[in-house]
Amino acid sequence: MSSSIFKKQYINGKWEEASSDSVVKDYNPYTEAEITTIQSADASDVKKAYQAAESAQLDWEQTAPARKQTYLHNLLDLFERRKEEIIDWLVTESGSTKIKASVEYDICYEVIKEAHSLPTRMTGSILPSNTPGKENFVYRNPKGVIGIIGPWNFPLYLTMRSVAPAVATGNTVVIKPASDTPVTSGLLIASLFEEAGFPKGVVNVVVGRGSVIGDSVVTDPTPSTISFTGSTEVGSHIAQLAGKDIKDTALELGGNNAMVVLDDADVDKAVEAAVFGKYLHQGQICMAINRIIVDESVHDEFVKKFTEAAQQLKVGDPKQEDTLIGPLINNDQVKRVLEDVAKAKEEGATVMKTGKVEGNLLEPIVLSNVTNDMTIAQNEIFGPVAAIIKVKDEKAAIHVANATPYGLSGSVFTSDRWRGLEVAKKVHTGMIHVNDQSVNDEPHVAFGGEKHSGLGRFGGSWALDKFTTEKWISVQSKYREF
């Protein structure tokens, strides 16, 4: 696929120039070289995309389930044929290591497979009535047009997680990709759907900065639902805009995820899991471990072994097969993370391992003697910094884990899985994993957070519920007496 098309918008089945005079420049975060320049959309382009989606939606809704599944099967075939291209784009544009890009490719493939099952799962029901001669039918229908705002960290998957089930259930979509990854969170998706033969208008993409077109994507009267993955601050703004028009939202927002290491944990296994859950994609994952809460009886051993493991991680070119730590998405993120680390040192944290900086590369940093009231423990780090907190016992660990307005993911390590289950029940979070790290996602399982970490659930039947609505129609077999 020629990258020349990734300079345009994709609206109503056509690659076309946008209306704005401004541009979005797309950079490789490792080399900092420009990848492409895209003419930016404005509000009129957003309107045009929504009109195309609305015009296509009724025909798409009425397309037979088997026909929808054929298109989705074509999409899966394309994913396999274009696998190396997809992985290369993830490495080039989002700074993904080959390991992370492969993980993202695999989970994205699985979410399309799950979506493939949805057209024949659009079930309704017939319910009895207390009114003589009446039958109650409950139909499941698509919501119509869905607005999807994608993120830059897992750009392909976290956008496709909404696109695939929304389209599979008879909706049409307008995607606004992240400005840092306009290809992998939008234009590449459009090219895949186009090549798979989906009807024009089913998938549309408008590229522009959130400050320019973000509000238009939400406030346009056409979409019934807005799906957003990103920061809590932006998600709150989107929820307010959508709420004015009583639009539904699917919001997957920030996290302050805790890994709890109990006194009976296998420390070596806990360290191995913690290194993966903290440093995968340089910690730029909403599910990444933000705080490692360790029982005092195993704390010193854990800190020593974790620091040694972090020192072994290869940092560098994400195109190299054995690179484990690639670049942050841009230099602003590097500066922000370093400022957070400096603040933690001022507040009393101990730097067990410092991180050298080269361009957008930042080596893993390990902090001990962190307390939960420190800034580094209160905010989402979103970078390769591990904050380790020592606690007295299990009760204290649960208290610290819950002392945050966030509640996305987490983990518990213990040699007693039933103890782990009971602790997991007490942590206020949408997802938590016993004897595993916090970065888990399976497309058939409920995915989502509590509190400031979001609204709604993605995955399987939960995605089916989110992108469809139920309608009650009653029918009288004989005229009713009033």
Q: Give the residue numbers marked as catalytic.
A: 252
Can you say whether the dihedral through the CA atoms of 85, 90, 91, 96 is positive or negative?
negative
- The token pair at 103 is 């993980």
Other beta carbons less than 10 A from residue 482's beta carbon:
3
Structure tokens at 404: 């945050």
Q: Are 44 and 20 in contact (CB under 8 A)?
A: no
3-class secondary structure for the chain? Answer: CCHHHHHCEEECCEEECCCCCCEEEEECCCCCCEEEEEECCCHHHHHHHHHHHHHHHHHHHCCCHHHHHHHHHHHHHHHHHCHHHHHHHHHHHHCCCHHHHHHHHHHHHHHHHHHHCHHHHCCCEEECCCCCCEEEEEEEEECCEEEEECCCCCHHHHHHHHHHHHHHCCCEEEEECCCCCCHHHHHHHHHHHHHCCCCCCCEEECCCCHHHHHHHHHHCCCCCEEEEECCHHHHHHHHHHHHHCCCEEEEECCCCEEEEECCCCCHHHHHHHHHHHHHHHHHCCCCCEEEEEEEHHHHHHHHHHHHHHHHCCCECCCCCCCCCECECCCHHHHHHHHHHHHHHHHCCCEEEECCCEECCEECCEEEEEECCCCHHHHCCCCCCEEEEEEECCHHHHHHHHHCCCEECCEEEECCCHHHHHHHHHHCCCCCCEECCCCCCCCCCCCECCEECCEECCECHHHHHHHCEEEEEEEEECCCCCC
Dist CA 413 CA 415 (whole Å): 7
Residue 338: phi and psi, rounded to 5, are: -65, -35
